[in-house]
Chains A and B, each alone.
Chain A
Amino acid sequence: MWSIIEQIFPYAIIFTIPLLITALGGLFSERSGIVNIALEGLMVIGAFSGALSIHYLSGVLDNHTLVLWLGLLAAIIAGMLFSILHAFASINLNANQIISGTAINLIATALTVFLARNMTGSGNIRISSGFSPSNVPFLSDIPVIGDLFFTKTYPTTWFVLVILFVSSFILYKTKFGLRLRSCGEFPQAAEAAGINVRRVRYSGVLISGAFAGLGGALIIVTQSGEFTGTVAGLGFLALASLIFGQWKPLGVLAATFFFGFASTIANVSQVIPELAVIPPILLKIFPYVVTLIALVIFSKSSQAPKAVGETFDSGKR
């Protein structure tokens, strides 16, 4: 049993990281009061622009690691720019945030495949190679923990974890974090205190765009190595993890890791004899059913930002 866990742990982490960073982005947006169902589309945009820039840059630059990081940067910028559409619609125009998000999901998937097909013909963009996993020196020699956390890790994993802790700090220990949270709870009070609610919400949405873009590109450089026009519902899963994690950074970490682990088990179940006895369908639907149950359990004590999803009307009492 232990060897199975040891075997699948690295894969579970690889699966978790894009989900984690995307859900964290969603956290910034929702904590500022804007529902961001567009995470899926923003991930697609990130995957597309990441794959595209890596594809082209690898012909120009020799340093492949640099190319990969530049690709991630491009994905962050593209995600951020695209999320302006959502911010503009839901903050300036008081649009229904769920509809605006749905529209962005549709635009992102259609537009990227449209452009990719125009460039490559097949609509897929391959990159020559992604990051390669490596062991962390010294730490990987620690028994148990070393095997689980420090062998076969990607540099991007550590990068995302750093972002997680920085985000946590920003959210709870800085002026900006307090303002962001106040805009999601009671924007009228926040405005009365002199906070520019619209500006804070813009930053929340833009951060979510940047993180979701990064999440999409991480799938390309650590898992698939190819843009195929979809991220297979990971953005929606990130949204579910956000709620599952009760809009808290560490909760989100736990929720995304749960999804990562459960999905990995489902994916490898056929090759591991101990798991092959369980019908695969049960393993596949397990994370979704658990989410539904979790939503029911949390429903009484939901920590959702109070003003999330509502259009901001500064005259409302």
Chain B
Amino acid sequence: MRNTIVSLISIILGLVAGGILMLFIGSNPIEGYSYLLQGALKNLERIGNTLATATPLVFTGLSVAFAFRTGLFNIGASGQMLVGGLAATAVALTFDFSRPILLLVMVLAGLVAGALWAFVPGLLKAKFNVHEVVSTIMMNWIAYWTIYYIVPGYFKGEFLETESKKLAESETLRTPFLTNMFDGSYINLGLFLAVIAVIIIAFIIDKTTLGFELKAVGFNRFAAEYAGMKVNRNIILSMLISGALAGVGGVALYTGNASSIQIGILPAQGYDGIAVALLGANHPVGVFFAAVLFGILYSGTGFMNAMTEIPPELANTIIAIIIYFAATSVMIERLLNKFKARKSNKDKSGPVVEKGDS
């Protein structure tokens, strides 16, 4: 409950800051936000696009949140997405399976690739205590350059050197049923995968021994070890699952929302995942709603930009400011406490709690 209030206040503060920015460049914030909402939610197609935009963010948010529960900071979701997307694209372009099997193999390939990419930082952390922030950043750049050379080398597009060959509609996560339901939006099966992932991760974290152990390692590594848990194994396992989530996020992004993989770009969704996880208080359900909010901001700014002078980077700016406020939640909590204290001072007729009582 408290986390939710802090997140909501952060969102409001971020939106206010965005409004001030719009004023600063001489635009009307109310007009800007109304176009933004229209751009994201006005009709079925736009709602579909918004949900599709949110899909990879659900995965990266889950990925970061899951690792964070074990006290690990997976900043490498971008790289894990890239290799996941590459693996799925490679499967789609190489094999000639029937559609259900192909899709299944694609998702599995992305999952395994992402997990492997995260395995290296996990192993280095567990065995050599190498800080995962630095090692995942290194892995990001290794992924970046790997894609940079493998895509033009083996999966070159027909017209452009800088992207992979376009996948046929039947080789992507798009499905006529969803496309028609949302009036031609690029929403795809990735959304269902995301919802399933949310449920599975919530179950693992809250209901299983594994989840309990991972959280215990996150709270206090040494206490967990003293209690007989295999800390190193848990660290590696946590990174594997985290990477697998990001990898499937890459599948959803590159073979669902898009139908090709581009070189020279680290997907911003990886870094946004940190924001999503933080705003969602590292809980799967919170992550889902945070991702949808970011989806609204991202997909709405295109329309806003077309109708007004406001640059589309407004969305990123608002998100970044929200995260700053969420990171400094102590400030908000202090204010809340002050507010509460003032309230309880007013009606202090009841018995005061004695020192040492609680």
User: In the complex, which residues of chain A have a beta carbon less than 8 angstroms from the beta carbon of B266?
Assistant: 233
Per the bound structure, the CA–CA distance linking A118 and B21 in Å amounts to 11
- How does the 8 Å CB contact mask read for A272-299 relative to B, with 1 for contact and 0 for none? 0000000111001100110110011001
**B304 in contact (CB, < 8 A):** no
Per the bound structure, the CA–CA distance linking A284 and B263 in Å amounts to 14
**The residue from A111, A281, A284 contacting B317, defined by CB atoms under 8 A apart:** A111
User: In the complex, which residues of chain B have a beta carbon less than 8 angstroms from the beta carbon of A164?
Assistant: none
Are A96 and B327 in contact, with the CB atoms below 8 A?
yes
- How does the 8 Å CB contact mask read for A171-194 relative to B, with 1 for contact and 0 for none? 000000000000000000000000
Residues A110 and B317 in contact in the complex (CB < 8 Å), given A37-B133, A118-B311, A280-B149: yes
Secondary structure of the B contact surface, majority rule: helix
Which of A5-13, A53-61, A87-95, A144-152 forms part of the interface with chain B? A87-95
Are B145 and A285 in contact, with the CB atoms below 8 A?
yes
Are B129 and A110 in contact, with the CB atoms below 8 A?
no
Residues A239 and B316 in contact in the complex (CB < 8 Å), given A85-B324, A95-B330, A102-B274: no
Nearest B residue to A296 via CB reads: B128
Are B311 and A288 in contact, with the CB atoms below 8 A?
no
- How does the 8 Å CB contact mask read for B167-187 relative to A, with 1 for contact and 0 for none? 000000000000000000000
Q: How many residues of B contact A (CB 8 A)?
A: 46
Are B146 and A111 in contact, with the CB atoms below 8 A?
no
Residues A100 and B328 in contact in the complex (CB < 8 Å), given A106-B323, A114-B21, A280-B149: yes
Secondary structure of the A contact surface, majority rule: helix
Are B141 and A288 in contact, with the CB atoms below 8 A?
yes
Are A292 and B138 in contact, with the CB atoms below 8 A?
yes
Q: How many residues of A contact B (CB 8 A)?
A: 45
**A99 in contact (CB, < 8 A):** yes
Per the bound structure, the CA–CA distance linking A302 and B124 in Å amounts to 14
User: In the complex, which residues of chain A have a beta carbon less than 8 angstroms from the beta carbon of B131?
Assistant: 243, 295
Residues of A within 8 A of B (CB): 37, 85, 88-89, 93-96, 98-100, 102-107, 109-111, 113-115, 117-118, 123, 233, 236, 239-240, 243, 279-281, 284-285, 288-289, 291-292, 295-296, 299-300, 302
Residues of B within 8 A of A (CB): 21, 25, 73, 75, 120, 124, 128-131, 133-135, 137-142, 145-146, 148-150, 266, 271, 274-275, 278, 309, 311, 313-314, 316-317, 319-321, 323-324, 326-331
Q: List 8 extra interface pairs beyond A107-B317, A296-B130, CB under 8 A.
A: A89-B327, A100-B324, A102-B327, A110-B320, A115-B25, A118-B309, A233-B137, A240-B134
